[in-house]
Structure 1
Amino acid sequence: MVVVPADHLVAAPDILELAGAPLWAIIDGASCPELPQLVDENGGICLYRASTPQDAPHAPWLIPVLPDAPMAEDLAALGNIQHWGIVFASDAGERKLHRHFRRFTMLWTDANEQAPVYFRFFDPRVLGDAIHALPVSDMAHLLAPVRQLWVPLSPLLGEWTGLSPLVEPELFRGKFFQLALPEKESPERPRAFAVRGHAYREMERLHGIRNRRKLARDLAHRFPTAPERVVMTCAELAPQKAASYGLFSVKHVGIYADAMMIFGPHFDKNEPEAAAILARHTPVSLTKAEALRTWSNDAWARKRERKHLSGSMA
């Protein structure tokens, strides 16, 4: 399964003209605060067990996209960077689509042999990873009733978009690209949808790439004057270096990356106070991360004060 070339990008209104069948959207309530209004204006049905968005505000909803309905315009207004969902054309009716996609909201992975986990295939980031990691037969089962498929363009989807993570919003806002569908296979499907072995490891690898791309974008926002090369290098190195000190969460890696941006990539060796903090053998990574952030803020303030005094004396 491959991505349609970038020159096939389309704006939201064009999807209505290109669709060869009735158009639908699956909107992720966890990423789309506008979901209650969208359901109220356009109707829809929840892929989980809920009758209203208020019952399950973070659930995915299947919503029709009719030419003269508000949803047609709402697609263009929703922020691409929110990764709010997917748009597709299908000849299947609402009941059939609902019944089909509900079967894929959970899946088995190597992370937990005892119970399935939520599968957020309606998140463009997850769908993109699945496209590149899962067997074609699995994707054919997942997308069996889909005739055409579009996702909102975002630099945080992955390297396969061809976008730099630091690209300006004007280059992707309101744009969609179409994914080529896998060849349809036998109507039979596996007893349980699962991501195992190599596919699971590949999903994890792609997730790590996306995390580094997001970190780069966050760093560029926090350090707007930093050269792109410095930002990208920091985002690439920070997760591994932070992990060597027992810091794994997105928040903690961000704290470590901030220190790298301010004091250099080798601050953990060149700054004695930071080195002492990171060398602590504590089972509570939060304590270490918060101590590092406090040191970084204080040291940065002292550094700026020395620079100011030096400039005043000059």
Structure 2
Amino acid sequence: MPMNARRRDQVIPQGQYESLHRMVFGHPARAVYAVMDGAMIEGLPGRLAKIAPDAACLFEGTLDPMLSAAAPWLVKLDPESTATQMALREGWNGHWGIVLLTDAGLDLRSVRSHLRRVLRVRAPDGASMLFRFYDPRAFRTVIPVLDPPARREFFGPIHGVYVEGRTPDCALFFARDGRPEPQALPLSTAA
């Protein structure tokens, strides 16, 4: 492979991956989860079954296989896990999902329960609709305009969320208790 060719599965360069990894796992009192978008990741349920068997679909019940394949999935990330490589190396800047920080003791079932409550929102006409908050583009557009009560309700037990920025050399961090605008965090390009 030529030196300047990018592997298909490597969305961000090694230096940026290492910088992002340090940010995400730099909070020892926090657990790290990813919500990954099956609509953006080919074969997500099967891939997660192999690398993160505890991953949980945010949709409830027995799903049609096509709906299951396009559904959002919650997975716990550990610093050296294959799921972390997938979320932070392969998927970052590919709109694959978002990364959550919670209390260290909060388990996957509790995080899933909270996220299921924020999956549906009311449109201005009163209709219920799916909120694809796990798409980084939707997250960074909608979350900053929430009023403080709606923001607290959305975040619940989640302390903060990392999403890809509008440019590939930046991550955005949205804090539950911070100001509405995210903190822009440059991703180092040094390897």
Common fold: TM-score over 0.5:
yes
Give the AA of the match of 2:58.
L
Q: Distance in 1 between matches of 2:19 and 2:63?
A: 30
- Partner of 1:125 in structure 2? 137
- Partner of 2:174 in structure 1? 179
Q: Distance in 1 between matches of 2:144 and 2:80?
A: 35
- Answering whether residue 33 of structure 2 is matched by residue 38 of structure 1, we say no
- Partner of 1:104 in structure 2? 118
Q: How many residues align?
A: 156
Change (3 A) 1:28 1:74: same
Map 1:1-314 to 2 at 5 A: 11-14=19-22, 15-18=24-27, 20-33=29-42, 35-36=44-45, 37-43=47-53, 44-50=55-61, 54=65, 56-91=68-103, 92-110=106-124, 112-113=125-126, 115-155=127-167, 171-172=168-169, 176-182=171-177
Q: TM-score, normalised by structure 1?
A: 0.45
Give the AA of the match of 1:16.
F
User: Match of 2:70, SS?
Assistant: coil
Change (3 A) 1:148 1:97: same
Post-superposition offset of 1:138: 0.5
Residue pair 2:140, 2:163 contacting (<8 A) in 1 also:
no
Post-superposition offset of 1:29: 0.8
Q: Distance in 2 between matches of 1:53 and 1:20?
A: 38
Post-superposition offset of 1:45: 0.6
Q: Which structure 1 residue ranges, 4+ long, deviate > 4 Å from structure 2?
A: 50-55
Residue pair 2:121, 2:129 contacting (<8 A) in 1 also:
yes
Change (3 A) 1:81 1:50: farther
Residue pair 2:87, 2:97 contacting (<8 A) in 1 also:
no
Post-superposition offset of 1:53: 9.6
Higher strand share: 2
Aligned Cα RMSD in Å? 2.6
Give the AA of the match of 1:49.
E
Residue pair 1:66, 1:72 contacting (<8 A) in 2 also:
yes
Post-superposition offset of 1:145: 0.8
Q: TM-score, normalised by structure 2?
A: 0.70
Change (3 A) 1:13 1:136: same
Higher helix share: 1
Give the AA of the match of 1:62.
L
Identity %: 24
Change (3 A) 1:52 1:16: farther
Q: Distance in 2 between matches of 1:40 and 1:53?
A: 20
Gaps of 5+ in 2: 1-16, 179-191
Change (3 A) 1:100 1:153: same
Gaps of 5+ in 1: 1-8, 156-170, 184-314
Give the AA of the match of 2:59.
Y
Q: Distance in 1 between matches of 2:21 and 2:132?
A: 26
Cα-to-partner distance string for 1:155-182 (whole Å, 9 max, x where unaligned)? 4xxxxxxxxxxxxxxx53xx53322323
Residue pair 1:29, 1:59 contacting (<8 A) in 2 also:
yes
Give the AA of the match of 1:105.
L
Residue pair 1:12, 1:75 contacting (<8 A) in 2 also:
no
Q: Distance in 2 between matches of 1:78 and 1:126?
A: 20
Post-superposition offset of 1:10: 7.5
Q: Distance in 2 between matches of 1:21 and 1:80?
A: 21
Give the AA of the match of 2:52.
N
Give the AA of the match of 2:119.
T
